[in-house]
Amino acid sequence: MHGFSQYTEPWDVMQIRDLPYPDPGVPDVRSGPRFLYWLGRNQLGGQLKSLSWGLLHQCGVAALPLGVGLAVQAVVDRSGSRLAFAAGLIALLGVAIALGDTMLHRTAVTNWITAAARVQQLLARRTAELGSALTRRVAAGEVVAVSTGDVEKIGWFVEALSRFAAAALTLVVVCVGLLVYQPALGIVVAIGVPVLALAVLPLLPKATRRADAQREMAGRATELASDTVAGLRVLRGIGGEDLFLGRYRDASQEVRKAAVRSARMWALISAVQVLLPGLLLITVVLYGAKLALDGRIAVGELVTVYSAVTLLLYPLRHFEEIAMAYSFSRPSAKRAARVLSLERTANARGTEAPVPVTGQTPSGDLYDPATGLLAPEGRFTAVVCGDPDMAGMLAERLGGHATSDTAADTGTGETPPSALLGAVALDDLPLITARGAVLVQDKDPVLMSGTLAELLDVPASGKVAAADALDAAQCGDVLAALAQASADSTDDPMRTRITERGRSLSGGQRQRLALARSLVTDPQVLVLDEPTSAVDSHTEARVAAGVKRLRTGRTTVVFASSPLVLDQADRVVLVHEGEVAAVGTHRELLHTDPRYRAVVTRETDDESAAKAAIGRAREHGVLEEIEESA
């Protein structure tokens, strides 16, 4: 789907105070240039407003030589009235230049900021839709590069577009005006100006390629820096800091070299745009002086044409700027379009599933056709999976987060079918409905900075109080620690600030606070991936009991391998090699299924074989005979 959303009005002039957009629209992401064109089209009102002020400013500048020429000629002719008229014209042009320049800057910067804000809103919306699947399909560093430097480059091009259009129209007006005012010199200018404007075109492809190479290398360096910072703790643990620092240093040097190569080309373009106008100016002066000596033009007319050619250097600069802005923004727009083109995978089951009426949330059992996993409605189901990566992907699929790259991860070569809630495929639901029905908490949940009260202030049913959720997640010691660290005189833990990502807390404390946040939301279906992996056994048993108590009558799926959690489940499902292998209670599976026992008790193959041999011996009475003889 391309073009405008139903809420987008391209003729509306968006003001900074009106940000954010009620709806940023549906971008055209088929290519980088198409995305830039879509942005410009959505800002048509702002672009025309900026163009109008730009014309006032630049035409005022271009008309100044006329006033100067009239003043010079009036002095030569000793005419006081014409001198006064020339002075009044110059004063009027000065006011127009000042007003046009002020408003041009204001509207151009507005175009820049609103374009950047639109792109950032689009990126934020796409990030929220894709969730954890985004960083599996696009490097985290690339997302950072797009949302920071690339957004700025795109905004620069959108902002420069109207100023370039004003400069181009001003050149046309000046050339036509000079042809009318003084045809003999005007024709020289009319021929020379297009040559000046187009002279740099042969250099632009090479300059653009070098700029693209620089941006690509800078993007890779940003990705490397982002990944290094994200894994800094691990790198310190294995002593790999110097290795990655050396890699980043090498990447930075490559970026520097590419920047120098790119700057050389732009310096050459700038030199051409200084040299050629200088040659045109010399030509006009020599030819104009000859015409003046021959009496074919007046001195004031020569001054007017000379001044006009001199001032043409100003609008010509915008040709260089728009070329630079486009060359830098095109790869940025390409990367932004690539991220914005990512979509949630459509239902790949090959069959039609009923879609609920808009506004209704489906209900029923949660079922995954790919593995055969069934979580009955209102029951506490535990899932045991020997492969942690497989467990994580299955948890995401149960939440309707299936993506096309999951097929590559599982090695199936095809996109897994969507999980079903009742008879409705989660991938067929609007994203907000799917996430309102099923909440997935992964094994490494993130805590945002802010107070504990703000952390628990999330969209919720209102049926579960924060105190009950904290109690079920066994956060008593966390509350005590927060109260002790509180800067508030009341020692209220709910008003204690939690640092970014909860770095001031231990792993177990972060895990339990995240669990409490999930419990407060009280979703119809709650999927927890190893929610107690960072807590001790005593706390783990109480957390499991608290979750079961608080979630009574609600569908809960917990991925775990701890007997303390599994013993609390109404039913336990063993997923082996991508399929459901056994279903029962924890104690039943512990005695009947060796694969389940191997995962839960960490039993080795030799130990399992020994126990099986002892069991067979008991069945045949061999063990009793040996014991009696002994």
d(CA 468, CA 516): 9
261 shares a domain with 373: no
388 shares a domain with 248: no
In a domain, 316, yes or no: yes
Residue 173 predicted with pLDDT over 70 = yes
In a domain, 630, yes or no: no
Token pair for residue 528? Answer: 């927890």
Q: How many domains does the chain have?
A: 2
121 shares a domain with 51: yes
If you average pLDDT over residues 6-20, what whole number do you get? 59
Residue 210 predicted with pLDDT over 80 = yes
378 shares a domain with 237: no
Residue 10 predicted with pLDDT over 60 = no
462 shares a domain with 325: no
Least confidently predicted of 135-139, 142-146, 474-478, 549-553: 135-139
280 shares a domain with 167: yes
Residue ending a domain, among 340, 375, 394, is: 340
159 shares a domain with 300: yes
DSSP assignments along 275-341, one per residue: HHHHHHHHHHHHHHHHHHHTTSS-HHHHHHHHHHHHHTHHHHHHHHHHHHHHHHHHHHHHHHHHHHT
- CATH of residue 62's domain is 1.20.1560.10
In a domain, 187, yes or no: yes
In a domain, 77, yes or no: yes
Least confidently predicted of 193-197, 390-394, 521-525: 193-197
DSSP assignments along 334-363, one per residue: HHHHHHHT--PPPP-SSS----PPTTPPP-
In a domain, 156, yes or no: yes
251 shares a domain with 155: yes
- CATH of residue 499's domain is 3.40.50.300
Considering only CA atoms, give the Rg of the chain: 36
For residue 25, the SS3 value is coil
Range of the domain at 231: 16-340
444 shares a domain with 314: no
In the block, tokens 């067929």 appear at 428
Query: Average model confidence (pLDDT) for the chain?
Result: 80
- The residues near 607 (Cβ < 8 Å, ≥ 6 apart) are none
519 shares a domain with 381: yes
437 shares a domain with 329: no
If you average pLDDT over residues 291-319, what whole number do you get? 79
| 3-state SS string for 472-525 | HCCCHHHHHHHHHHCCCCCCCHHHCEECHHHCCCCHHHHHHHHHHHHHHHCCCE
- Residue 232: the pLDDT is 56
pLDDT-based confidence at residue 238 (cuts at 50, 70, 90): low
In 3D space, the residue among 18, 8, 81 whose CA is nearest the CA of residue 45 turns out to be 8
- Residue 432: the pLDDT is 74
CA angle 75, 78, 81 (to 5 degrees): 90
Residue ending a domain, among 291, 306, 340, is: 340
Share of the chain above pLDDT 70, in %: 81
In a domain, 608, yes or no: no
- Residue 517: the pLDDT is 93
For 299: left if phi > 0, alpha if psi spans -120 to 50, otherwise beta; the answer is: alpha
pTM of the model: 0.60
In tens, the pLDDT along 77-122 reads: 888 888 899 889 889 989 998 999 899 888 888 888 888 888 888 9
444 shares a domain with 582: yes
Give the highest mean pLDDT range of 96-100, 129-133, 299-303, 442-446.
96-100
In a domain, 10, yes or no: no
In a domain, 615, yes or no: no
The answer, yes or no, to whether the previous bond of 20 is cis (omega within 30 of 0) is yes
